[in-house]
Chains A and B, each alone.
Chain A
Amino acid sequence: MEFFKQTKTINFMGKSKIAIAVSIVLVLISWGILAAKGLNYGIDFAGGTIVQVKYEGAAPIDTVRDTLATNPLYEGAQITEFGSPEEIIIRLKTSSKDVQSDMGDVTREALKGTGSFEVRRVDIVGPKVGGELREKGVMAMLLAILGILIYVAVRFEWRFAVASIAALIHDVSIALGAISLFAIDVNLDVLAALLTLLGYSLNDTIIVFDRIREGVTASKSIELADVINESVTKTLSRTTLTSLTTFFVVLTLFMFGGEIIHAFAFTLLVGIIVGTYSSIFVASPILMWFGFNVGNYRTKLAEAARRRAEKEKMRAMYEQGTV
């Protein structure tokens, strides 16, 4: 079975203007949403308390709200359904430093008489820890980008590195926009998803770039646009296939992985779609803008090959003892 018959090269670059325009609009909208709504930091980054309660049968959420509304300890608490009608989650902005007393016990006491339930999870994160985790998260993002940038620059050329980072920023921006739009709680798992997305989106981009690098030396054309079109066409079935398999598994995670994995899977789901699109339509045109010159690159590669050959010759001469 085949999706794409590789009979003729598809002219991607001809449509690159439209694609880039779409991308810019999407990124701007994402930034707009981020500016307007901001990120909904969960307790990992903002500090606070969550208590997850499971009832036998449907949770009497209104009763719970009324019961807790009269209790000063639960001032400003958000009470929402969690994953299924049986479960609710109580979110508080405060966190207690006391090791002896516990919000889980307090909640058990407070909800007495609302039905038969069990407290399944209590997470308390102090403000100090939240702040540290936030710092670490930003650090991790920046370091990952920097590490990747250096690697790509060494393996390819600086223009490739810049283009791949531009594609990354594009992907992460749109993913963050979606997270903000759907008011997803940003916790450590979302950070992990974003970092995975970095690796994943780049993986796609690099496969395309690798082909471009190959095409630069092998293609009949000296026009970069032609080389890119050929390369993207050749990698199209692989890009689609891998994205599809990954999309499938993330979709199963999203559907069946339970509520706790939800935010993680959602972020990746958006990321895979955007990442695939960007490695085809965003990364390559940027390469063109930076004035990557096929002719020059060929000369450079040829020069490197010549130097290697010369070294080999010298070494051979030394080894045979003739100088």
Chain B
Amino acid sequence: MKLNFRVLVFAAAILFGVVFSIPSLLQTDKGTKITLGLDLQGGLHMLLGVKTEEAVSSRLKAIASGINHFSEREEVLIDGLTADDESVRFTLLDNDDAPAMDKMLAGIEGSKVVHDGESYHVSLTPEAVLKTQKQAVDQAIETIRNRLDQFGLAEPTVARQGVDNILVELPGIKSAEEEQRARELISRAAKLELMAVDEERKMRAYTMTSAEAARFGDVVLPDAEKAGGKYLVREIPILDGSMLTDAQVAFNQNNQPVINFSLNSEGAQIFGDFTGKNVGNHLAIVLDGQVYSAPVINERIGGGHGQISGNYTVEQAQDLAIALRSGALLAPIFMLEKRSVGPSLGADSIQASLIALIGGFVLVFAFMIVYYKMAGIIANIALVANLFLIIAVMAMFGATLTLPGMAGIVLTVGMAVDANVIISERIRELLYQGVSIHKAIEEGYANAMRAILDANITTLIAAIVLYVYGTGAIKGFAITISIGILASMLTAILGTHGIYEMLESRIAKSKNVSFWFGVSNKKAAA
């Protein structure tokens, strides 16, 4: 019985494995743990796409708003201002204003201005279009993250996937209602617009087609509260939610929840100018294309504060305030993929895979002992160490354990004893040839090494490809298989070799190779 470096390394590996897997196994509060995948703990996984083309058209609309505001402030007379998905058009009524107009347009980033005579045609350069699209995705990620952080869920993940997709993962969603709320919070555009009601034609709101409205530079918007209610408002908004600095829930005199919003200085300036000029007219407060209210402007509203009242519950008002505060989505998002797993199903999956793991483990364990006797027990020690190592390494990297990952661990149990089977077979062979115990062990390991390496490296190649090309749960499978292979190389080759070295003199003394290697003594007369 003497210690050797192999046994020491093996002991250190076991120690490391046990210490680092304790937090995961006993679910302690301290230490890094393996996180359970959504398929095991329940939760919501979504892959979202972004309609970037809509971001471009709203950018053009914002340019139109700017032109509109400029023309009113500088008293530059223009006519027929419209914005579509590709450009902004208007006609300049007085050519003397052209230099001022051109200077203003030149100041708009990424704009391309074409004008023949007095009809202007403003569009975006291809670079500006790309930039706007990229910004829309970036901003959507940022916005969704902000909203979810304020929603108060445990560890939401919001990440870019590919070029313009967004991956959202919400573990621990416990009920359908909770999921519903989260989905609404994520997808809500929360686009606030303050628009002028078309006072001249507002009586025709119910009869006008959208094409007709467009001719007048108007849009028909539905009433959010009253089913079938309609408003005719100017198409170009006075200002939008990008100038919003804050939104808070308050209560009005009827104890109804309302949302008070504040504007930044630019917004406050525009809002003050507009309300000052339009006393007696109606101002439509539009959220996501629905008119929430259209109060009469009694006086100039300075200070940049406003209020949205509507018929909603306190909870809805809070979610809406969160959405407004975290900013509007520049572009609408849509669902590419969604996977939601209820917590009970996750618990069932854990139970099923644990039964499989324990069952497989016991079978392999018993089998090895029956077949190889003492050598089998040594192999089993390596197998247990291997399991601890897998858990410890996964915990260290904070890896996620998924259901396929569990299957990977179960599979590793079957495959990890393989190295020891190969080694034991080699040792038996050599014993049959009548070499000494020492030589049988040393040469057995040497002969087995090459085969084990080759076999494991090919499996590793398959696992790495799986990791690179797999998604979510499948990645988890690839990770556990890879860690399992690497750990088994350490435990099964180095660890067991060390144990044999330590026991060598005993084995040689005992002369009982049947007990040690499960072969008949007669044939292997050492």
**Which A residues fall within an 8 A CB radius of B?**
1-2, 6, 52, 54, 95-100, 102, 104-105, 108, 118-126, 128-129, 133, 136-137, 139-140, 143-144, 147-148, 151-152, 155, 188-189, 191-192, 195-196, 198-200, 202-204, 206-207, 210-211, 214, 234-235, 237-238, 241-242, 244-250, 252-253, 255-258, 260-261, 264-265, 268
Contacts and interface: CB of A to CB of B under 8 A. Distances in A.
B414 interface: yes
B461 A151 contact: yes
A255 B355 CA distance: 10
Contacts of A6: 429, 432
Contacts of B254: none
21 contacts: A2-B520, A102-B183, A122-B338, A123-B338, A126-B335, A151-B461, A152-B458, A196-B411, A199-B462, A200-B415, A202-B458, A203-B418, A203-B458, A210-B451, A238-B422, A242-B418, A246-B418, A249-B361, A252-B355, A260-B349, A264-B404
Nearest to B422: A238
B389 to A, nearest CB: 18
Interface stretch (B201-209, B300-308, B473-481): B473-481
Contacts of A95: 335
B124 to A, nearest CB: 26
Nearest to B184: A100
B183 A99 contact: yes
A261 B352 contact: yes
B521 interface: no
B503 interface: no
B419 to A, nearest CB: 9
B370 A249 contact: no
Contacts of A151: 457-458, 461
A129 B471 CA distance: 11
Interface string B466-509: 10111101100110010000000000000000000000000000
A48 B258 CA distance: 40
B408 to A, nearest CB: 8
Interface string B331-352: 0011111111110110011001
B407 A99 contact: no
A189 B139 CA distance: 34
B417 interface: yes
Contact of A249 (B340, B363, B455): B363
Contact of B364 (A143, A211, A245, A268): A245
B310 to A, nearest CB: 18
Contacts of A98: 334-335
Contacts, number: 247
A189 B469 CA distance: 13
B189 to A, nearest CB: 11
B470 A188 contact: yes
A202 B459 contact: yes
Contacts of B418: 203, 238, 242, 245-246
- The 4 lowest CB-CB distance pairs between A and B, nearest first, are A249-B360, A258-B352, A99-B187, A246-B414
A140 B186 contact: no
Given A261-B407, A264-B407, A123 B458 contact: no
Interface string B180-198: 1001101100000000000
Given A252-B359, A258-B353, A105 B337 contact: no
A237 B48 CA distance: 52
B183 A250 contact: no
Nearest to B485: A199
Contact of A119 (B338, B342, B469, B518): B342
Contact of A188 (B349, B414, B460, B473): B473
A257 B356 contact: yes
A105 B176 contact: yes
B421 A241 contact: yes
A110 B367 CA distance: 52
Given A124-B338, A192-B466, A199-B461, A118 B367 contact: no
Nearest to A136: B469
A103 to B, nearest CB: 9
Given A102-B183, A129-B47, A257-B352, A143 B469 contact: yes
Nearest to B371: A1
A252 B469 contact: no
A247 B345 CA distance: 27
A310 B121 CA distance: 81
Contact of B410 (A122, A155, A253): A253
A214 B443 CA distance: 14
A129 B415 contact: no
Contacts of A139: 469
A245 B428 CA distance: 19
Nearest to A98: B335
Contacts of B474: 188-189, 191-192
Interface in B18-37: none
B417 A200 contact: no
A144 B461 contact: yes
Contacts of B39: 260
A81 to B, nearest CB: 16
A129 B166 CA distance: 13
Contact of A137 (B360, B469, B520): B469
B312 to A, nearest CB: 16
A191 B473 CA distance: 12
B348 A258 contact: yes
A144 B468 CA distance: 11
Greatest chain A CB density within 10 A among B429, B461, B481 is at B461
B200 interface: no
Given A200-B459, A202-B459, A241-B371, A120 B469 contact: no
Given A118-B342, A242-B418, A250-B414, A207 B335 contact: no
A192 B519 CA distance: 38
A29 to B, nearest CB: 26
B404 to A, nearest CB: 6
Contacts of A238: 418, 421-422, 425
B413 interface: yes
Nearest to A130: B337
A66 B327 CA distance: 46
B371 A140 contact: no
Contacts of A125: 336-337
A104 B444 CA distance: 59
A207 B352 contact: no
Given A119-B342, A237-B425, A261-B407, A108 B176 contact: yes
A77 to B, nearest CB: 18
Contact of B462 (A128, A152, A196): A196
A104 B355 contact: no
Contacts of A124: 335, 337-339
A262 B363 CA distance: 20
Contacts of A202: 455, 458-459, 462
A2 B359 CA distance: 24
Contact of B367 (A137, A196, A244): A244
B109 interface: no
Nearest to B339: A123
Interface in B36-61: 39, 46-49
Greatest chain B CB density within 10 A among A123, A144, A191, A244 is at A144
Interface string B366-406: 01101110000000000000000000000000000001100
